Amino acid sequence: MPRISRVMTPPHLASRRPSGLRRLVRPALIAGALAVLVAWSADQCKVSLAELAQGAVRGVEVLGFFFPPDWSAMSELLGPALITVLLAAVATPLGVALSLLFGLAAARNLAPAWLRTPARMLIGLERALPEIIILLLLVAALGVGPFPGVIALAIGSIGMLGKLLADAIEEIDARVLESVETVGATRWQVIRHAVIPEVLPSFLANAIFRFEVNIRASVLLGAVGAGGIGFELSKAMSLLEYERAMMAVLVTLALVFGAERISDALRRRVLDGGKLQ
Amino acid sequence: MLTVSALCKKLPDGRPILNNIEFTVRRGEFVGVLGASGAGKSLTLRCILGLTRVDCGRAVLATPDEDFDLTSARGRRLREARRRIGVIFQGFNLVKRLRVLDNVMIGRLGGISPWRSWLYGFTDAEAAEALEALRRVKMDHCAERITGTLSGGEMQRVAIARAIFQRPAMFMADEPIASLDPSNSIAIMKLLAPLARETPVLGVFHQPEMTARFCTRVIAIRQGRIVYDGDPNLSQRQLQDIYGEELDQVLRPAAVPIPSLPELAPAAIEAASAA
């Protein structure tokens, strides 16, 4: 019997393994190609170290304009800040309701193909479109103001919540759904008594998280025409009222930070409540 | 009464996996279906329930008010038929996040309209009756618990309570004790046997000693055909015919030899604890 003195690469694998320098050729080629690509992109974007250096000096100077923040503007900014929150507060439930329908329609184990395919396509299309583009399209139809913002955010929620819901539904054990069917339940009863109880906690947690995302998006949409604190910020900037702009930034920070804390706490409660003790 | 006649099922390539399955389950019977793995026991049950389409044959459930052909029924007619069969599955196919009582009440879904189940739910009288069903399987103390927190044996009792609450014309159990330990298995069989006196039970089982002890009749399937239908007490010879090679496993599932490990030398133990 031959003695095996050390672990060896099996011959059929050893022949595939390139040796020595050749092992470095491929990684080097890939790294080189990537470097060329990045350099070209930087040139196209007019990235310039000299300008960065100049800009930095100017930046420090400009930063001075922002201080001190204009505290007296705070009371005027609270109204627009409220609009920003309300915009998200209306858009989120609307988006949740739409996502519920889309999610059910897109789940492989519930919906027939004629319904599922268009639902999946719409969800996918929606995810590919940033909210800001939806808003710009809506503004053309509905004019400037918070209302197109609400619609844009509601539609924007479908891409994320609808997809997550459809995935969660597809993960439900098929035998559970089948077992509810065998008592003679209709599909809608299976949804009411098996699907919804199984996915509700995670869906609610996602919806709360989406509320937080929507507040941030609502600030951004405000700047392009939906009103609220984002609009105040962009207005102050274009009027060169930097101290007022700084105040708007501070209010935004407080808003987003607060929303994040509240959303975190709520989500923890929802998920703990749904957990199997 | 259930009458299955000339049931057959083929694979897509034309190979038969169920062949001319015929039997009848009457009032007062507890019929156990035995057979090796892959013989077609569970498939037979699925075909009778309309969960798998058959290629030929019929399964007719006769109830006092109506007769249902389960193999050809579709849509509303199939739901009407399923309402009359209480199914107890092998796994624990309950909705894990619902309370135990809610899972039992699912048994009555076939009898209420979808509008009611969305807008109102179940009545107090139905809840009381569901609790009664739980009492029957000695699980009423767990009615408020979340189903996912129960043990396997407990979940199987809840599944039986759900089937009882359904008030079916017949019970069908797909390997109801396959994943339970011996004492839980006997407890479940002791629940099913008295049920069978009121409402016939058709169950798929793996353990011939269980069917011999509790069933009133045994049907054996081998390679998609019925090879035995009669007295639940089977001889060694008959079991050999049913199970073939698998017989040893079936009779002594616990007797898998545990490989004896060579004893560790004291030096090796010291070396291991030092490391």
Closest CB to B51: pick one of A173, A178, A274: A178
- Asked whether the bond before A93 is cis by omega within 30 degrees of 0, the reply is no
Q: How far is B21 from B216, CA to CA, in rounded Å? A: 19
**For residue B108, what is the nearest residue in chain A, using CA coordinates?**
A183
| B185 and B79, same domain (yes or no) | yes
Structural domain of residue B23, as residue ranges? 2-84+168-274
Q: Are strands B56-62 and B30-34 parallel, antiparallel or unpaired?
A: unpaired
Of all residues in chain A, the percent with pLDDT exceeding 90 is 25
In chain B, what residues touch A185 (CB-CB under 8 Å)? 79, 106, 109-110
User: Which residues in chain B show pLDDT less than 50?
Assistant: 254-257
The helix (run of H) or strand (run of E) holding residue B31 is strand B30-34
| A112, burial (CB in 10 Å: exposed 0-12, middle 13-18, buried 19+) | exposed
What is the residue-level pLDDT of chain A in tens, covering all 277 positions? 555 555 566 666 665 666 667 778 888 999 999 999 999 998 888 888 888 888 888 888 777 777 787 777 778 888 888 888 888 899 999 999 999 999 999 998 888 889 999 999 999 888 888 888 888 888 888 877 788 888 888 988 998 899 999 999 999 998 899 899 999 888 999 999 999 999 998 899 899 999 988 988 888 888 887 778 888 888 888 888 888 888 888 888 998 899 889 888 888 888 876 554 3
Q: B234 — phi, psi (to 5°)?
A: -105, 145
A68-274 is a CATH 3.20.20.370 domain: no
Total domains in chain B come to 2
Domain final residue, candidates B119, B146, B167:
B167
CA A215 to chain centre: 12
| B195 and B266, same domain (yes or no) | yes
In chain B, what residues touch A192 (CB-CB under 8 Å)? 114, 117-118
Please tell me whether the interface predicted TM-score (ipTM) of this complex is above 0.90: no
CA B53 to chain centre: 19
CATH of the domain at B38: 3.40.50.300
In chain B, what residues touch A175 (CB-CB under 8 Å)? 89, 91, 93
Q: Verify whether the Cβ–Cβ distance B95 to A180 is below 8 Å.
A: yes
- Longest alpha-carbon distance in chain A: 93
Of all residues in chain B, the percent with pLDDT exceeding 70 is 89
DSSP annotation of A118 reads: H
| B13 and B149, same domain (yes or no) | no
* pTM of the model as a whole: 0.76
| B183 and B269, same domain (yes or no) | yes
Q: Verify whether the Cβ–Cβ distance A179 to B146 is below 8 Å.
A: no
Q: Verify whether the Cβ–Cβ distance B109 to A200 is below 8 Å.
A: no
The predicted-structure confidence for A209-238, as pLDDT tens digits, reads as follows 999 889 888 888 888 877 788 888 888 888
Mutate to test the interface with A, among B46, B83, B84, B109 (most CBs of A within 10 A): B109
In a domain, B211, yes or no: yes
DSSP annotation of B99 reads: B
At residue A92, the pLDDT reads 92
Q: Verify whether the Cβ–Cβ distance A176 to B110 is below 8 Å.
A: no
The predicted-structure confidence for B3-30, as pLDDT tens digits, reads as follows 888 888 888 888 888 888 888 888 889 9
In chain A, what residues touch B84 (CB-CB under 8 Å)? 184
Q: Is B98 on the interface with A (CB under 8 A)?
A: yes
Question: What is the length of chain B?
Answer: 275
At residue B91, the pLDDT reads 62
